[in-house]
Amino acid sequence: MRLHIDWTRCEGRGLCAELLPELLDQDRWGYPLPRDASRQPPVPEPLARHASRAVQQCPRLAIRLLK
């Protein structure tokens, strides 16, 4: 799975980076920054549940998982 971020929807604040710190850092405004600097960071299996939770809790529906 990969994590896709829709930048046209994201409004920062960093909730996803707080829920998925292993994959996402955040800039000074709270916009998520994939730690591997890729556009769609791969989600290791052990983090799949955390990633799903981040997707469900994003208030802007700006992130999703791609299989």
Binding residues for ligand SF4, rule: CB under 6 A, are 5, 10-16, 30, 32, 58-60, 62-63
Q: Check: CB of residue 26 under 8 Å from CB of residue 65.
A: no
Min dist. Cβ of residue 54 to ligand SF4 (A)? 7
Min dist. Cβ of residue 2 to ligand SF4 (A)? 14
What distance in Å separates the CA atoms of residue 54 and residue 67, rounded to the nearest whole number?
Answer: 16
Q: Check: CB of residue 22 under 8 Å from CB of residue 47.
A: yes
The encoded tokens of residue 40 equal: 């769609």
Min dist. Cβ of residue 22 to ligand SF4 (A)? 15
The nearer residue to ligand SF4, 8 or 46, going by C-beta atoms, is: 8
